[in-house]
Amino acid sequence: MMRRLTVWATLAAAAWRIGAGMPQSPADDPSLPRLEAALSSAPDDLRAGNDYRMAIIRTGQYDRALAFFETLATEHPDAANAHLNYGFAYVDKIPTAGSISQVILANRALTEFSRALELRRSWIGYYTRGNSYLYWPKIFDRTRLGIADLEEALRMQQADEAHAYHVRTFIALGDGHWIMDEAEKAKAIWRAGLEQFPDNAALKTRLGATPSALKALINDTYDSSRRVDTNLEELWAR
């Protein structure tokens, strides 16, 4: 067992070293200049920005992305999705930072998400900012803001044609209520989600979990030291 534990821990340590900014040797992705050029010519293209960030994650060049998006957002201040991707670029860097730097990065991400929403109200904007608030420890009193955003996202999706990714709102909004010790509200939201998405495993798990298992699940879900999946490709899936 010790060997298994040690092997597991070695892998974890390796991941942690990456996270802690150990010198890596990121292979320069030759596609980065091309992706940057594409974004420069279409700064509001959410998908192009997403493709670029995914390439950045593969190479670990987070500061390059932040510098690029800063310039892009400055040069195109009205491009809402440039700000949205800029915010995601901060989120992408969080796992590589120390605990205090993580707070700073997360806060800068929120600033960009808010700017994007000021420019254009959108489901993805509200869902993203609302979900981001849930990662903040309760003591910072931001969970309520997250619930408000997610409720707005829910209203928007109910007025829109149905998409598979809309289930995310039910999951996150229920989680927000659960974090606020509003278990009944959480269950009601999850149940409503299950009615619309009857096969969703995440909702079933939440509704079937014991309180202690649910606590562990929520803690694990919103563990800020782990990488948050910011890949938006689900938005374009058919």
Binding site for another protein (CB under 8 A): 1-2, 5-6, 8-10, 12-13, 16-17, 20-22, 97-101, 103-104, 107, 137-141, 223-225
Least Å distance, CB 105 to another protein, is 10
Least Å distance, CB 71 to another protein, is 18
Closer CB to another protein, residue 33 or residue 98?
98
Closer CB to another protein, residue 181 or residue 199?
181
- 3-state secondary structure at position 15: helix
Closer CB to another protein, residue 54 or residue 180?
180
Closer CB to another protein, residue 44 or residue 112?
112
- Axis-axis angle for helices 167-179, 183-196 (nearest 10): 170
Least Å distance, CB 61 to another protein, is 19
CA–CA dist 68, 88 (Å, integer):
13
Least Å distance, CB 215 to another protein, is 14
Phi first, then psi: what are they for 194, rounded to 5°? -70, -30
Torsion angle, alpha carbons of 107, 115, 71, 57, to 10: 50
Residue with tokens 């700064």: 43
Closer CB to another protein, residue 139 or residue 201?
139
- 3-state secondary structure at position 87: helix
Greatest Cα pair distance, the chain, in angstroms, is: 56
Closer CB to another protein, residue 1 or residue 27?
1
Structure-token pair, residue 203: 């909702």
Least Å distance, CB 12 to another protein, is 7
Q: Which residues contact 116 (CB under 8 A, 6 or more apart)?
A: 80, 81, 83, 84, 87, 122, 125
Q: Which residues contact 176 (CB under 8 A, 6 or more apart)?
A: 130, 133, 134, 143, 146, 147, 150, 186
Closer CB to another protein, residue 23 or residue 208?
23
Least Å distance, CB 86 to another protein, is 15
CA–CA dist 130, 134 (Å, integer):
7
Least Å distance, CB 3 to another protein, is 10
CA–CA dist 169, 101 (Å, integer):
28
